[in-house]
Structure 1
């Protein structure tokens, strides 16, 4: 279970069952350090929330949760040909590409740092450099033992916490910021899907964003789990906000607590000035 302060979305999500649809047996992943296992879990969460896999290799897919061909060295296609996404390189980085309805393409990078035992998840919108969300995960919190287990239930722990953090710091701000960009451009996102609910197969590829204004929020939380190493909250776009670039930069970099103090001090000063002018 997660720590107090987290809003749980995972009551109906069984991540091991999703992983079984992606790769039936965890031992076939071939992950001596657990990095591929955790990156596959992140991939399943993206698909569960309505993202559709972009697979550049021509092969038969048995489930929407199947990772792209060549995503891991032990699961590479029979042709052995390199692919541009979904590959595992020497830096232990796993890359997945997705589509999300009218929001276009998204790319997720899962990079494992051997020295620290931490994995960084970077998810970004392909055509919007400002829409980048980052989450740091301590590998041992979710994959405590890397053995040849025969069941995903034996491999993954704290799956509810993983799902809640992924929703809080990756999916909701990523999709919310993309939806806001569509509204700025005068396009209306379709309302077929809701975040936190598994999409029906016929709805795949027609994702929508509901309550997009509510999802565009500050995702930083002082009570966040200690393995949350990095989180970049959604920011105002200097291209679409219509504000001065310097002002946008200042607003995006100002911590919420400091911003509140500035607002309170400014309000107090304005009130004092009004009272002083009235008394004169």
Structure 2
């Protein structure tokens, strides 16, 4: 978890695919029809084509900054995450250890043609990843950019942490009961603790994050249908139920995951420090 923009909602055209099918947790037919006694298939894949499309957009913006005229053609794209490498396949994050904040090196290598010449661009970063049984949140923080082997200065927008959320979103919320969720929060540098309570009788929730400088009070807000787009990463969309409210540090959003809302994942849009990611289970 880290900082950035896009806000959590919940469920998917997505985990790892690019079809826009509201209310669908993956591209596996019937994923949302799992009974309470069955273990649903949770798709923790990251769309290669999605992150390639995002990189293509960023490279064209870089060309504009460099005042390069004419068309920019993306000739090849390769991405490395930890010990995984791909030039065409989706990434599978299901092997990330449960409930452990993991850091992995991230690297994109692009060859693009502009003005008749090939240019090699590399983007390095660190991904902080936290996986639960039904959900996952990652914050990818850029650390360096090179153009044809020469280092480029990262702009303010370039070093924002990009949030990625995946998982099996809750389609039928509990209609009664109060549940306490506990877990972690992270701003990309430090790790804190999450405590959040949801009263499904009243349809409201509130909580607190501690351990990240001053406490963050997640004020009470109502459950509603929500959506989230992994805009800065693989472009996939999540649809489901969540909560959107205010805090003393900025607005927050979270989504419910698991067949019976066993988990939550969300972000705080910290006014001063970018986005803070959090996740918890009951």
Q: Considering the TM-score relative to the shorter chain, is it more than 0.5?
A: no
State TM-score, norm by structure 2: 0.27
Q: Structure with the greater relative contact order (CA < 8 A, sep ≥ 6): 1 or 2?
A: 2
State TM-score, norm by structure 1: 0.27
Larger helix percent: 1
Larger strand percent: 2
